[in-house]
Chains A and B, each alone.
Chain A
């Protein structure tokens, strides 16, 4: 569960309302794969990941990034029950996908950087702090069912 004040919830909702979830998702996943190349281990079947421009332009990366962020976006509607909301996805990432939860923390921070990149004026230190709580909460929820 993420503890956001009413002001923080309002700030998160307000900024998220301006976000193009599809594009932001593609960019965030792309940057994850560029900045932390070892994360490419999960996406060998995605085709050309040979350079930053190949990665950022890769249609599978964009599509998967959009999917991931749409799921994250749904989580924003359930900040009081992130563990419940992401329970099934947590099991999937553990049992089928075998993803180290550290990757959720990495991606969460990349999402914040992409938000700063596109909405620098709106992502004040206070708003960033609220988002850091959200991404940490989502990462924690996604790791919760690991065994």
Chain B
């Protein structure tokens, strides 16, 4: 699976809008994840996961920053995410199913915050991009 030129253009354009609110988006995505899919909280026993928690905000920012790196290096996402891929494979070992759940919650958050921008075409491009990121993050698992 690789991104077309048109998809790359869509992704980077939308990212420019999202990045100004990255922290809010990141935090809300995680809140939605933990609300809808409580089993995902099992990866964060060491966190205070209540809405407004500084740890939640920090982690949301971290996730968004990584996505930002991927967008900046959209022609070579594998290279940009090498370290994160290794981290997830050897240290974090988050079950692959959870990447779909996180991606879905990010799309819901984007749709809620940027309704004018999330056309079907943009939705498709971002779903594909998040799927690509997810597969890169899990590709070293075995």
Residues of A within 8 A of B (CB): 30-31, 34-35, 52, 55-56, 109, 112-114, 116-118, 120-121, 123, 125-126, 128-129, 132
Contact = CB atoms under 8 A, between A and B. Distances in A.
Chief secondary structure at chain B's binding surface:
helix
Interface of B: 28, 31-32, 35-37, 51, 104, 107-109, 111-113, 115, 118-121, 123-124, 127
Contact of A52 (B35, B113, B118, B124): B124
Contacts of A116: 108-109, 111-112
A132 B36 contact: yes
Given A113-B111, A120-B115, A125 B28 contact: yes
B28 A120 contact: no
30 contacts: A30-B120, A31-B120, A31-B124, A34-B123, A35-B120, A35-B123, A35-B124, A52-B119, A52-B121, A56-B120, A112-B104, A113-B104, A113-B111, A113-B118, A113-B123, A114-B111, A117-B115, A120-B112, A120-B113, A125-B28, A125-B32, A125-B35, A125-B36, A125-B51, A128-B32, A128-B35, A129-B32, A129-B35, A129-B36, A132-B36
Contacts of A129: 32, 35-36
A120 B28 CA distance: 12
Contacts, number: 60
A121 B113 CA distance: 9
B33 to A, nearest CB: 9
A120 B111 contact: yes
B97 to A, nearest CB: 12
Contacts of A118: 115
Given A109-B104, A116-B111, 5 more contacts: A31-B123, A34-B121, A117-B111, A125-B28, A125-B32
A113 B120 contact: no
Contact of A117 (B28, B104, B118, B121): B118
A30 B104 CA distance: 17
- Interchain residue pairs A-B with the least CB separation, the first 7: A120-B112, A116-B111, A129-B35, A125-B35, A117-B111, A34-B120, A132-B36
B124 A34 contact: yes
A123 B127 CA distance: 20
A106 B112 CA distance: 19
Given A113-B107, A128-B36, A129-B36, A123 B112 contact: yes
Contact of B120 (A55, A126, A128): A55
B111 to A, nearest CB: 4
